[in-house]
Structure 1
Amino acid sequence: MAGNKLALEGKISIISFLLGFGVVLIPLIRTFAGHLDWVFDYLTGVRGKIAIAVYIAVLNGFLLIIYKGPLYKVAVRACFLGFTFGCGLIISFSQTTWTHFGWYMCSMSFFHYSEYLVTAIINPRSLSLDSFLLNHSVEYTVAAVSSWVEFTIEKLSVPELKQLSWLSLVGLVMVLCGEFLRKSAMLTAGSNFNHIVQNEKAQSHVLVTDGVYAFFRHPSYVGWFYWSIGTQVMLCNPVCIAGYTMASWRFFRERIEEEELSLLHFFGEDYLEYKKKVGTGLPFISGICINSS
């Protein structure tokens, strides 16, 4: 029964994400009589804003009628992320100086939605609203808002800084590679993966050393590390590039040490051997130190 319920939540999230993504139909319908170069102007105009507001209201009303309680909470979050992804895609293909922010919107929304969807596939027992990682931490929220503020201020004061297309492309590659590595790690680990560090070993918990784990001890953290920095490189945010690098490095250093304490407790000598052969994958982070004496 629990498995069916969680499988249902995954399906609902897909349907809701696609409904939110349907916002792309608004400019596409209008574009049949014109060209993409005016789509952004249309959406930021009065008629465009009204069309989007009506679309959101109708969608939310539909979800409220169809889903109740916990299922609605899943649906509305997935729908919001699909909507954000659709808006980001519209901006990305419009003739505007906000193109790179459109890339960022797509990257953020896809990351958070795919965290939930992949968890629903590999480890439905651990699936919850927290699997979206939208409420990851206060620090995470502050970091995100800070990047938006920096981008806006610098775009208004130093607009040429935000048009370094080659740098934004580097950031896009970092984001795509980081996302691919993280999701590969989650899929490889399967039911062994959990967003929360486990202090007790489950019966099904095994030491995963194949796939991307043959190259990095913590591939999901490596992917997330470079993904997060890549989002700021994409936005050409010099302050946040430095800030994200330092904050992410410190967070993952502490997280890896905490996790490896549990892994050593779970797998003992097997993990020690694995630790000797494979590095963490993150610069200047070796993991928990073992006293050989």
Structure 2
Amino acid sequence: MPESVPPSSPLRRPMTPEDDPSDEHLSTEDAPTNDKLAPPPPSLANDSEEAEDFVTPMASNFPPKDVKANVEANGNGDSPKAWSSASFAGFNKRHVRRSSRQYPNMVIDTSKTKLHPSPNHHPPPEKDPGANPTLPLSALPRPPGLEYHSGGKKSLEGIAIRAFCLGNAFSLCLALVVAILALTSSPLWRLPFFVGALALFHFLEFWTTARGNTAEAGVKAFLLTANWPHYAIAHSTAMLECLVVNLFWPQRSWAPLYTGSVLLLLGLILTAVGQFIRTAAMLQAGSSFNHIVQTRLGDGHDLVTTGIYGVIRHPAYFAFFWWGLGTQLVLGNPICFVAYAVVLWRFFSVRIREEETYLVNKYKEDYLEYRKRVPTRIPFVG
């Protein structure tokens, strides 16, 4: 291609009416200055090789028949929609008009045409493949205070309803126990006693958490659905055994050597003492106590070795183990007593072994010495 000549140069041949603007030798530099069509982009006007590549299908030896030419020039974009509409329209109109005169049957497909973008166009930056993906709405941080609304993990509504129901259940059961003992000789007072003991236990679980470890005081602190459904099945089975036996065999005594009254008193003591020790242990541990085993112990977790913890290692587990057995003695359930003993022993032996792994990793020799000195008071555990 010859060098461009400025319009003021005397070497430029003036345009005449006989000149055909569709001349195949006419380049973008030779276009008349009064052409009403928009000029091509500067990047193409100064790049002779790309301009020639674009008009190659319009050579004179092109077969005059129906042809669909996919024109692809070297560009940086992905689609014609990304470029300046004026530059793209002005550039294409000129060549499509000229080619349509010479080759009326030609169909030029510009859907895949790639052109240089307009100087004022700035394509969007490419995504960094290492950037974090867009988080779903559920993973975004929630505004503060929503956990106290209905459905939240610290829902005040949920806490109020559970506390209200547990309080009513305890009061009703206490009234039933007194009425049955005062008005009848039926042993069925054991059932409301058991339900009342459960109601008091779950209420105190939340109360001690709210007082000693307030940050963890939520709906789950009541432990009403802990270890679901095994926990519910165990208590339902115990009540069913007591109900069936006392309805159909009210005079039956399974205690050996007529020790039924002694075992009943022992059951009441174990239930009361177990509840007291668990509540006191949770209050003494404060923020160091949690219903969920903590795999990572933070700075706020302290090793408590005084008070109840100086006599019993894991006193909260010790208390629930004997509390559960005491309730079965009160109910007079020989089958569930054995079942409770086996299930609770297996549960706490695994739980204590798992928890002490993390305690040894954090406190090292301090906890090893404490473990040697203080027993768990649960048979064959620790």
Is residue 2:194 matched to residue 1:110?
no
1:132 aligns with 222
Structure 2 matches for 1:8-47, cutoff 5 A? none
CA contact (8 A) 1:162 1:235 kept: no
Larger Rg: 2
Aligned counterpart in structure 2 of residue 84 of structure 1, from 148, 162, 169: 169
Deviation of the 1:229 alpha carbon: 0.9
CA RMSD in angstroms comes to: 1.8
Shift of 1:100: 2.1
Q: How does 1:34-183 map to 2 (within 5 A)?
A: 70-94=155-179, 95-96=183-184, 97=186, 98-137=188-227, 138-161=229-252, 164-183=260-279
In the other structure, the counterpart of 1:211 is: 307
CA distance in 1, matches of 2:167, 2:251: 30
Q: CA deviation at 1:155?
A: 1.3
Paired AA for residue 85 in structure 1: F
Residue 161 of structure 1: how far off its partner (Å): 3.7
The change in CA–CA distance for 1:154 and 1:134 in structure 2 (over 3 A counts) is same
The one-character-per-residue Cα deviations of 1:48-69 (angstroms, maximum 9, x if unpaired) are xxxxxxxxxxxxxxxxxxx955
Retained in 2: the 8 A contact 1:217–1:275? yes
347, 351, 367: which one aligns with 1:271? 367
Matched to 2:219, the amino acid is L
In 2, distance between residues paired with 1:136 and 1:223? 17
| Residues 100-128 of structure 1: per-residue CA shift (max 9 Å, x gap) | 22221221110010000110000011122
Q: Which amino acid aligns with 1:118?
A: T
Alpha-carbon offset, residue 230 of structure 1: 0.8
Q: Is the 8 A contact 1:155 1:162 kept in 2?
A: no
Deviations along 1:229-250, one digit per CA (max 9) or x if unpaired, are 1111111011111100110001
What code does the residue aligned with 1:278 have? V
Task: Note the C-alpha offset of 1:168.
Answer: 2.6
* Counterpart secondary structure, 1:93: helix
Alignment partner, residue 18 of structure 1: none
Q: Provide the rounded CA distance (Å) in 2 between the counterparts of 1:220 and 1:166.
A: 26
Q: What amino acid maps onto 2:276 in structure 1? A: F
Q: Which residue identity lines up with residue 120 of structure 1 in the other structure?
A: A
Deviations along 1:183-216, whole A, 9 cap, x unmatched? 1111111110000010111111111000011111
Determine the structure 1 residue equivalent to 2:125. none
CA distance in 1, matches of 2:230, 2:206: 20
Unaligned runs of 5+ in 1: 10-66, 287-293
What is the match of residue 17 of structure 1?
Answer: none
Secondary structure, aligned partner of 1:111: helix
* Distance apart, 1:258 and its partner CA: 0.6
Distance, in Å, in 2 between the alignment partners of 1:231 and 1:204 is 35
Structure 1: how far apart are the matches of 2:313 and 2:223?
A: 22
Alpha-carbon distance in structure 2 between the residues aligned to 1:132 and 1:156: 32
Aligned length: 222
Call closer, same or farther: CA 1:162–1:115 in 2, change over 3 Å: farther
Q: Do the aligned residues in 1 keep the contact of 2:209 with 2:216 (CA within 8 Å)?
A: yes
Aligned residue for 2:251, secondary structure, equals helix
Q: Aligned letter for 1:261? A: T
> C-alpha displacement at 1:166, in angstroms?
4.2
In structure 1, C-alpha distance between the alignment counterparts of 2:196 and 2:232, rounded to whole Å: 17
**1:141: Cα distance to partner?**
1.1
Q: In the alignment, what sits opposite 1:241?
A: 337
Is the 8 Å Cα contact of residues 154 and 162 (structure 1) preserved in structure 2?
A: no
Kindly indicate whether the alpha-carbon contact (under 8 Å) linking 2:295 and 2:358 is maintained by their aligned counterparts in 1: yes
- TM-score, normalisation: structure 2: 0.56
Structure of greater relative contact order (alpha carbons < 8 Å, 6+ residues apart): 1
Structure 2 residue corresponding to 1:195, chosen from 291, 296, 321: 291
Paired amino acid for 2:380 = F
**What's the offset of the Cα at 1:165?**
4.6
Name the SS for the 1:79 alignment partner: helix
